[in-house]
Structures are given as structure tokens and as C-alpha cells.
Amino acid sequence: MADRVAELVRTEITEDALLLIIERPPANPLALDLVAALEAALDVADREAGNRIVIVRSALPGFFVAGADIKHMVELDEAGFRAYGDSLRSAFDRLAAPERISIAAVDGLALGGGCELAMACTLRVAGPEARFGLPEVKIGLLPGAGGTQRLPPLVGRGRALEMMLTGRQVEAAEAHAIGLVDRLAPGDATATALDLARELRANSRVALESLIRSVDASGVAPAAAGRRVAADEVTELFARGDAQEGLRAFLERREPRFEQ
């Protein structure tokens, strides 16, 4: 079983990134074994990624992740369905933690749970053939692994509802235009994701993580609470982060030497 799990989501380390490479033919459905493999790969990232950026990609042409495992779902009772959803949400929430900076490199279909997986990443890069969608309404469900919560902050309430209520697929160019995708790749999305990882790694890691926490707090009510989080974060960076090195480097007209 351990060998099977390792095969479904392989890990590969480069100078700037730790890649999680998904391969469960024919379309990377989020079956229980794949979810377990994703959790195991995140364990590897916890141990070995260091300050590298985590990149999630597929090894299958035409597919990022096609969605949840419908063949499994039809066999479940209510308790089993909730347990399956909990397993998906747990893995995606681990990926979305602010201390794990991640990029989804999407080539091909990212539908249902696959779109939710991409949205759990910090940023998304899409190749020309990428397609995104949350079609759960077409089978009488809703996106249950975080989609209803993660899509509106990215694209706005109206666009999010339109996508989810119609269940339509969104091509890469439109996904970029509405804010679901952060960068378009001219070809292979992974190559562009690696370039982005290198760009991110040039900055202060503690500042990157602090930025993510501050932006995430912008949705906290009341608004003053989010502003207080950001104020505390920037003060902490000034006192104990890389800010002193960054400020000196600016005055000395050199590149900063941040701790990595």
C-alpha cells in the first residue's frame, strides 16, 4: 500500500521548489487512495521542502484533477459521504496553510474537486489548454471541499455564483481575466510555475508568509480586526524578520541577503 501511495503522488525537489506530481490514470479522480497519497506527499513537504515553494502538477496529459470519485460516492451512506468530504477538506486545508506557499500548475481539466485543489494553493498558473469548473450542481450537489468559500474572494460573489450555479467550464484566458488564475503560461504550466517559484524565493520567506496571513485576515469581520492583524504582522517583521536586512540593502543599493 505504501508503494502504491508513493506512486500516485510523487515528490521531486529542485533548488526552488518541491513538486507534488499526481498520476492516477485515467483522469486523476480524487479517490481515497489519491487523497491518502496527497497527505503522504504533504508529510514529505513538511520534512523536506524547507523554504522551497510547493508546486502541484499532474503527470497526465489533458488532466490536472478531473474531480471527486463519483463511483465511490454512489456507494456511500450519509456517514461515509461526510467522512469522504472530511478527508478531502483536511488535505486541502493542509495545502492552504499560510506557512506552505504553493502553486497549482494546471494543464488540462481542473473540475470539481480538482478546481478546489487548485484554489487551495496560494497561486495558480494555467497552460493554454487548462479548463476550470465546479459542475457539482449538475449532479445535485455543491462544491463541498472548500469551493464555495475559496472562489468568491478570488473572482467576486457574482462571478462565483454564476460559475457554480451554471456548472460551466472556464477556459484559461477567462480564468485569468476574472482572477481565478494568477499567471498564464505560453506552454507548459510547470515551467512557468518554476519561474514563479524562483521569483518568490528571492523575497523574504517570513515576509511572504506574513503577507498571506494579513491578506487572509482581510475577510475577518469586523474590518478593524483584519487591519489589526496586518499591523501586528508588519511590526513583527520590522522587529524580528528580514526587514533590517532589506532596509540596509536598499540604502546600500545591493540585493538583500534574506535568510532562506
Residues assigned a catalytic role: 68, 113, 116, 136
Counting other chains too, the contacts that 68-77 makes at CB distance below 8 Å and 24 or more residues apart are 68/29, 68/30, 68/112, 68/113, 68/145, 69/29, 69/30, 69/31, 69/32, 70/29, 70/139, 71/29, 72/31, 72/32
Residue the block writes with cell 481565478: 180
> Please, what is the angle between helix 113-120 and helix 147-155, to 10°?
60
Sequence-distant (6+) residues with CB within 8 A of 164 are: 134, 136, 137, 142, 143, 147, 148, 151
